Chains A and B, each alone.
Chain A
């Protein structure tokens, strides 16, 4: 059988202002028709570069060497015209970010028809009709009408379906999918993976799947290649690599992956916190906007975080979990209901009293790049809350406190003089954590603090938070979309959906024995990094899905 994709000793070098940077070295791999090869690794490992090189889509400052052959065509040496004939017909691609992957000003039907007409001599009407058919195939409801929609009128999952429709428009032999589900909610991720699998199986398409998510790998791949610093360190079947890894790096990577426990735990019991409530939301409602176009972001939300405990706030995007955290931070004023922070009514507190109250809350946000001012040094970033809330503090004392907190989050105190840009993502999140802890808060609000980080980095950041929590005793409101992380980290969990609390309770019992169908669906959709177990879970999920659908 001829391989649809063959890479032989591929090397990619980026020329930058500071010289040539090798991104990929000596990568050899192959994908047979109907087979899925997963390319895994952490950020910066070069996996996306390999994916782009397969279609000759590398940016202008990149140079490729070695051999890449797609359906017998040499990609490395090909000119733009030859590549254009290949792309979208022999091989096509699905990208990570469905929000930006489509032209915002062109109707989706036209964008799909464009790919059809790029390669086949059909009339506009025929191409438009094919576009509708493709939309139907990728599961867009009412495709005749939806074809004339603009991308902004679709949800993230639907946009990704449109990108997939474009990718399969000419029945390609090779589909390159670069983190196709990373930007999506778990339930949508499961649907998209099911769709891709069905398409690949139906038409015998070979798939090169680039992902950092081991659960997705277990769910989808036949074979796995692990990348580290531009090189492939281990290749094998999905069972071998995920269950019996031989390379040390693969082992470390798999160990760091937070696993959702799906069976009764052995002796791990989080004790119920009996402490006084630190923050309490009672019947909180929040509405954004005014009039008929207003969005009800929170509806009758009640939750409590007690001293010393960690409460996980989970739910899909748009469920209101971040808004709820913002209410607790005093950043969003609720329309109805009560918020009490450290026993005081946050809605009534004004001026100095409110500032004092809020000084007791530290916050860590998701984006490690955007949440630190690039023009301030690390020391200045961490010292800022001191300047605001402890204005009487002298400069020397302030420096000492900053150094102390940096050491607390396991960063060397010398880092204070550096700029945030010079740090890695994990270091930056620890700087954010230091800033949140500098005032010795009684409550830490962490909104997806590790979602932008690699698993190994995520683990160290979470460990630091957990250790500091037992050391300093602050309560933590932990917002996350990742049920596995929440399961490990939080004592209690609050599941949100559409601005309401779906259910809440102790983490273990809630996630093992969910009371609502929604939570059950949410848990079933999380892929776990064990190919054998995941296959069973998937079959059960698909079976129950068809039952529910029938």
Chain B
């Protein structure tokens, strides 16, 4: 199929999914106990105040009309106003999102760079001591809650050996964040740990499966060495299922950021989400949910496109 046609169709699909997300977010806004009015005016508000507020805000009109209104605001980048910070939600997200992206993307890159070779190495040395040790460590890393792992890391590397600071870079811009790379180490490592655990398992399984494929035998029969077979054939073939998983991992990364930012006092989206949840700041919460949903949809879209590039069969409609 034509690549352009595919992309158009795939983006249209993504837009539909995002539209459904907005319906859900809108529904959640209105499912709040007492509606948005109670949220804004507080628990002490009288019914009269609420009615008045609802009328002023157009909240007494039929839901579909309100939804269209909400959608129009969204298109204008208006996500509402924070109850507690008295600032536009869009502005809050605009300030925080880049910093969170720095954290999550770095964690993902570091995590993958470790996980892929590790998984492959494990597959080659399967059922040998090294494999067992790494398998055990990945299960430990995977089942340790992120905040606990972070605390342990902070304790070891700031108290025992004092290699890294216990706080993430505090600057407001991305440039300021990168100005202090040493301070980024602990947050990124904490964020990457579960990623390494999960994706080294995927990679191990995918590599093992590919190593038993017929084409590996063909390559060996042609006189190719183990190393060449691994890097020329098995690696690429094992990568495709891992890429597919990566798209679905975006929300998990954001979830991790929530804890990591809290732990290392890094004012990104996670911290914003966290404090909004503490103070029932619903517009902020839902704004974050919307952004994360969009990021997930974009993530899976990217994963599909990358897979199409890596695996020609996807393009041919055969895989």
- B residues 207-257 in Cβ contact with A at 8 Å: 213-215, 217-226, 228, 232-233, 236-237, 240
- Taken together as a complex, chains A and B put the C-alpha atoms of A167 and B222 apart, in Å, by 7
- A105-B311, A152-B312, A152-B313 known; A114 vs B215 contact (CB < 8 Å): no
Task: Tell me which of A89-97, A124-132, A442-450, A527-535 binds B.
Answer: A89-97
Q: When the two chains form their complex, are residues B225 and A84 in contact, meaning their CB atoms are under 8 A apart?
A: yes
Are B312's CB and A150's CB within 8 A?
Answer: yes
- With an 8 A cutoff between CB atoms, is A147 at the interface? no
A105 contacts across to B, CB distance below 8 A: 233, 236-237, 240, 310-312
Say whether A21 faces chain B, with CB atoms less than 8 Å apart. Answer: no
B4 within 8 Å of A (CB atoms): no
A115 CA / B218 CA spacing, docked (Å): 10
Closest B residue, CB atoms, query A97: B214
- A169, CB-defined interface residue at 8 Å: yes
Inter-subunit contact A57/B215 (CB<8 Å)? no
Whether B218 contacts A86 by the Cβ 8 Å rule is: no
In the assembled complex, the Cα of A81 lies from the Cα of B228 at a distance in Å of: 13
Q: How far is the CA of A447 from the CA of B129 in the complex (A)?
A: 49
A101 to B218, CA, bound (A): 6
* CA gap between A95 and B224 in the complex, in Å: 16
Chain A CB within 8 A of B33 CB:
no
Contact A86 B223 (CB under 8 A): yes
In whole Å, how far is A329's beta carbon from the nearest beta carbon of chain B? 27
Docked pose: A102 CA to B113 CA in angstroms = 28
Q: Which residue of A lies closest to B233 (CB)?
A: A103
Q: Is the CB of A57 within 8 A of B233?
A: no
CB distance B223 to A89 under 8 Å?
yes
Q: Does B318 have its Cβ within 8 Å of any Cβ on chain A?
A: yes
Q: Are B220 and A95 in contact (CB under 8 A)?
A: no
Q: A106-B232, A153-B316 are in contact. Are A114 and B310 (CB under 8 A)?
A: no
Pair A102/B215 contact, Cβ less than 8 Å = yes
- Number of A positions contacting B (CB below 8 A): 34
Contact between chains at B214 and A100 (CB < 8 Å): yes
Residue ID in chain A nearest B217 by CB atoms: A57
Contact B222 A57 (CB under 8 A): no
Bound: A541/B228 CA distance, A:
43
Interface residues on B, range: 20 to 34
**Can you list, as one digit per residue, whether each of A230-242 has a CB less than 8 Å from chain B (1) or not (0)?**
0000000000000
Minimum CB–CB distance for B107 against chain A, Å: 28
Q: Which of A110-166 contact B (CB under 8 A)?
A: 111, 114-115, 118-119, 150, 152-153, 163, 166
Q: How far is the CB of A477 from chain B (nearest CB, A)?
A: 30
Residues of A near B220 (CB, < 8 A) are 57, 84, 87
Which chain B positions have C-beta within 8 A of A114? Answer: 219, 222, 224, 228, 232
**Cross-chain contact A103 with B237 (CB below 8 angstroms):** yes
B215 pairs with A103, CB closer than 8 A:
yes
CB distance from A441 to the nearest CB of B (A): 37
A88: contacting residue among B222, B312, B313, B317, CB under 8 A: B222
Residues of B close to A511: CB separation below 8 A: none
In contact, A163 and B218 (Cβ under 8 angstroms)? yes
- Residues of B contacting A87 in the complex (Cβ-Cβ under 8 angstroms): 220-223
> Nearest residue in B to A163 (C-beta to C-beta)?
B218
Q: Which residue of B lies closest to A100 (CB)?
A: B214
A57 touches B312 (CB 8 A): no
B223 with A84: CB separation less than 8 A: yes
Contact status A104-B313, CB under 8 Å: yes
Contacts of B317 in A (CB 8 A): 293
Give chain B residues whose Cβ lies under 8 Å from the Cβ of A93. 218, 221
B222: chain A residues within 8 A (beta carbon): 87-88, 92, 114-115, 118, 166-167, 169
Known contacts A87-B221, A163-B218; is A150 also within 8 Å of B313 by CB?
yes
Q: Does A8 contact B (CB under 8 A)?
A: no
Chain A residues near B237 (CB-CB < 8 A) = 103-105
Name the residue of chain B whose CB is nearest to the CB of A56: B220
Shortest beta-carbon distance, B225 to chain A, in Å?
5
Scan A54-85; emit 1 where CB is below 8 A from any B CB, else 0. Answer: 01010000000000000000000000110011
How long is the Cα–Cα vector from A287 to B232 in the complex, in angstroms? 39
Min CB–CB distance A151 → chain B (angstroms): 9
What is the CA–CA distance of A177 and B268 in the complex, to the nearest angstrom?
Answer: 62
Write out the residue numbers on chain B whose beta carbons fall within 8 Å of the beta carbon of A57: 217, 220-221
Who on chain A is nearest to B213 by CB?
Answer: A100
Inter-chain contact A95/B316, CB cutoff 8 Å? no
- What distance in Å separates the Cβ of B283 from its nearest Cβ neighbour in chain A? 45
A473 to chain B, nearest CB (A): 44
Nearest-neighbour CB distance to chain A for B66, whole angstroms, equals 39
A88-B318 contact in complex given A97-B214, A100-B213, A106-B233, C-beta closer than 8 Å: no
Q: CA–CA, A37 to B131, complex, Å?
A: 43
Decide: A55 and B224 in contact? CB cutoff 8 A. no
Which residue on chain B has the smallest CB distance to residue A102?
A: B215
Q: A106-B232, A106-B233 are in contact. Are A100 and B215 (CB under 8 A)?
A: yes
Residues of A contacting B226 in the complex (Cβ-Cβ under 8 angstroms): 80
- Which A residues are closer than 8 A to B by beta carbons? 55, 57, 80-81, 84-89, 92-93, 95, 97, 100-106, 111, 114-115, 118-119, 150, 152-153, 163, 166-167, 169, 293
3 A-B pairs with least C-beta separation: A88-B223, A115-B222, A88-B222
Would you mind naming 12 contact pairs between A and B with Cβ atoms under 8 Å apart? A57-B221, A87-B222, A97-B214, A103-B233, A104-B237, A104-B311, A105-B237, A105-B310, A114-B219, A114-B228, A114-B232, A152-B316
Not counting A105-B310, A114-B228, A119-B223, a sample of 14 additional A-B residue pairs whose C-beta atoms are within 8 angstroms of each other reads A55-B221, A57-B217, A87-B221, A88-B221, A88-B222, A88-B224, A95-B217, A95-B221, A106-B236, A115-B222, A152-B312, A152-B313, A152-B318, A293-B317
